[in-house]
Structure 1
Amino acid sequence: MKRNVENVFVVAQKEFADSIWSPRFYLILGIFMIALLVNGYQAGQNISGMSGRFFAGLSPLTMGFMGFASQMSLLGPLIAIVLGFDAIVKERKSGSLNVLLTHPVYRDQVITGKLIGMMVTLGLVVVIAVGASVGVMLGVSGITVSVELISRIAVFMMLAFLFMLGYLALSVAASTFTKESSDSLIYSIAVWLVLGLLLGMVAYTAAGIITGQQRMFEVSSDDPSSMEKMEKRNKIARNIMSLSPSTHFTELINGPQISGGYVVTSAGGAGERPSEMRGLFDTGFTLGHWVEQNWVNLVVLIVTPVILLLVSYMAFMRQDITL
């Protein structure tokens, strides 16, 4: 048992070292940090100008983290895909797997070690990039850092890691089933494009066709039927968009969304406190209430990478790695 753990640790250590010393790692970390730092500075300036006020039921802090969630949902998947798209196929093409398995190291130890190494690398990226950018935002805005705020930032990092881990697991799965690194990269990016960018447009277009409510501007407060159609359109669209991890991630951070904005509850205009929780950083509510309200989204973010990693694990254990 001790020998098995040592083998896994050695493989994980090698995978982690290969990742952090590669030029590709510094490139993606630099791009990620620059994007988040710029967003953090801009968000900090906006927050300092809105302190103490609420707009459309959203606090300045919540609105500040909306930008982070948007950047994470856009760039996060690409970072994760670049880290994992050649994890298995590169080793198989180079023949290093055959050499490695001639030593007292088994397949399960190899795949487990590689997955752990990549997950640690991903976690390091999230902690460095998000930690630095959030620090800039809080410093510029002048928001007092409390224990509660630190705990919510820690939860935000965890959610960002889980979200990106889903796409890392996707790229590892593609690397396991394909025979070329280029194919693995293309398939992974194609899935990201569909789920992250195209699904929203497809969802609202399809929902509009189904309900006959093509545009939001067709809604009239004097026409109950048009309001019902719009509500039905939004419900159908959100059900379709729930296929994307980005939807669950952004709703965990920002609260429920509809096309063109956020779901309107009983909150009024500027200066009025919302009566329902609007995302993770709505400090008027406890984290327990947040979990109760968003547990479905949370479960999806956890289950998605677990399933994909298990698929990769089982496929690697069964496939022929000889060339």
Structure 2
Amino acid sequence: MQGLWAVYRKELGDHFSSYRFVILFALIAMVSFITSYMAGVALRENLEGLARPGFVFLMLFSTPGALFSMLQFVAFFGPLIGLVLGFDAINRERAHGTLIKLLSQPIYRDAVINGKFLAAVTVIGIMLLSIVLIISGFGITLLGIVPGLEEILRLAVFLLLSLCYIAFWLGLAILFSILFKGIATSAMASVALWIFLSFFISLGADVAAGVAEPLEGQQGQDVEATMRHARIKEIFSLTSPMVLYTDASGTIVDPMRKTTRKMVLLGYMEQLSLSRFQNPLPLGQSLLVVYPHVTVLIAITLICFAVSYMIFMTQEIRT
């Protein structure tokens, strides 16, 4: 692909020199600073005078700070990073008349969209790595702990999951920037779809489960009906990329979590069964647990970018 490296370097320089990147990075750094500090202080107070459990370092990423944990922050607001970086990737070039000039150079058309996507993914990776390093620094300073090898590997997997998750929203934003000529229209469409997939899917899951397996008006506690209700709600919720990411990353960051499913009812026999499995899962077993979620997340990311690629390659470009 002739011209890919040139487009990649140009887009990377544009991102790093733009006020958009500076404001976005400053906001993320500030939130990471506050969240990691509050989580570190809370962990230090709760563990004072007690024997420290295993994988304390990973609790920095799953323990809520002032409002939310770092994992929850990436799940809810990480898509905005991808949307901000990609909503005007193509239509901005059209509006300024630079796309036709760019393609008149010895640069292939696929190098343009590939270079833009890879440059934005690189910026996202740098932001996520900075977040992890900030939280790790606070953990070492406040708690006096050093992460072990498995904790470092789990954080690496968490970074890759987060990068893939945000890359999906980046590909979606680039798709809208190709479909719509107006920059404001593509931005509104991207934000609207983010709100729908991230927030309204959970409401729809409640409605779908209530229609398929209603619980109101039942005599006594029907355990099977409650489990079916919860299962229908869970299946419907998995259509949201945020739920896929939250379940997968939560299982990776928390080694004590044995499944991505949520327990609805927990009786005496279930408690007795779970008491036999108090040891943390090895990283390989955790990866097997989240394998379906990770596969779907990677698949929808590749499909979204592939659709953007095909439309851009076949779209007519006029002066």
Tell me the TM-score normalised to structure 1 length: 0.84
3-state DSSP class of the match of 2:70? helix
1:197 alignment partner in structure 2 = 199
Change in CA separation of 1:23 and 1:53 when aligned onto 2, cut-off 3 Å: same
3-state DSSP class of the match of 1:251? helix
1:13 alignment partner in structure 2 = 9
2:42 alignment partner in structure 1 = 46
Following the alignment from structure 1 to structure 2, what is the Cα–Cα distance between the partners of residues 289 and 167?
28
Following the alignment from structure 1 to structure 2, what is the Cα–Cα distance between the partners of residues 130 and 219?
48
Contact 1:219 1:230 in 2 (8 A): no
91, 94, 103: which one aligns with 2:93 = 91
Residue 74 of structure 1: how far off its partner (Å): 1.1
With a CA cutoff of 8 Å and minimum separation of 6, indicate the structure with the bigger relative contact order. 1
Residue 241 of structure 1: how far off its partner (Å): 0.9
2:215 alignment partner in structure 1 = 213
Following the alignment from structure 2 to structure 1, what is the Cα–Cα distance between the partners of residues 264 and 112?
45
Change in CA separation of 1:60 and 1:219 when aligned onto 2, cut-off 3 Å: farther
Residue 110 of structure 1: how far off its partner (Å): 1.4
151, 163, 185: which one aligns with 1:149 = 151
3-state DSSP class of the match of 1:136? helix
Change in CA separation of 1:267 and 1:85 when aligned onto 2, cut-off 3 Å: farther
CA deviations over 1:269-313 (Å, ceiling 9, x no partner): xxx97827xxxxxx8221110111110011122112111111111
Unaligned runs of 5+ in 2: 63-68, 252-259
Following the alignment from structure 1 to structure 2, what is the Cα–Cα distance between the partners of residues 236 and 262?
13
Contact 2:57 2:147 in 1 (8 A): no
Residue 34 of structure 1: how far off its partner (Å): 1.5
3-state DSSP class of the match of 1:118? helix
Q: How does 1:132-171 map to 2 (within 5 A)?
A: 132-171=134-173
Contact 1:81 1:171 in 2 (8 A): yes
19, 23, 29: which one aligns with 1:27 = 23
Amino acid at match of 1:133: I
Q: How does 1:1-323 map to 2 (within 5 A)?
A: 4-5=1-2, 7-51=3-47, 52=51, 63-66=59-62, 67-213=69-215, 223-225=220-222, 227-255=223-251, 256=260, 258=262, 266=270, 275=277, 284-323=280-319
CA deviations over 1:86-106 (Å, ceiling 9, x no partner): 001111111111111111112
CA deviations over 1:26-52 (Å, ceiling 9, x no partner): 111111222222111122122223445
Unaligned runs of 5+ in 1: 277-282
Following the alignment from structure 1 to structure 2, what is the Cα–Cα distance between the partners of residues 262 and 43?
27
Tell me the TM-score normalised to structure 2 length: 0.85
> How many residues were matched structurally?
299
Of 41-50 and 76-85, the range deviating more from structure 2: 41-50
3-state DSSP class of the match of 2:89? coil
Following the alignment from structure 1 to structure 2, what is the Cα–Cα distance between the partners of residues 219 and 141?
50
Following the alignment from structure 2 to structure 1, what is the Cα–Cα distance between the partners of residues 173 and 61?
27
Change in CA separation of 1:239 and 1:62 when aligned onto 2, cut-off 3 Å: farther
Change in CA separation of 1:196 and 1:141 when aligned onto 2, cut-off 3 Å: farther
Residue 65 of structure 1: how far off its partner (Å): 2.4
3-state DSSP class of the match of 2:116? helix
Following the alignment from structure 1 to structure 2, what is the Cα–Cα distance between the partners of residues 132 and 73?
18
Return structure 1 stretches of 4+ with deviation > 4 angstroms.
Answer: 58-63, 261-268
Following the alignment from structure 2 to structure 1, what is the Cα–Cα distance between the partners of residues 276 and 94?
55
Residue 224 of structure 1: how far off its partner (Å): 4.9
Amino acid at match of 1:176: I
Q: Percent of counterpart pairs with the same letter?
A: 27
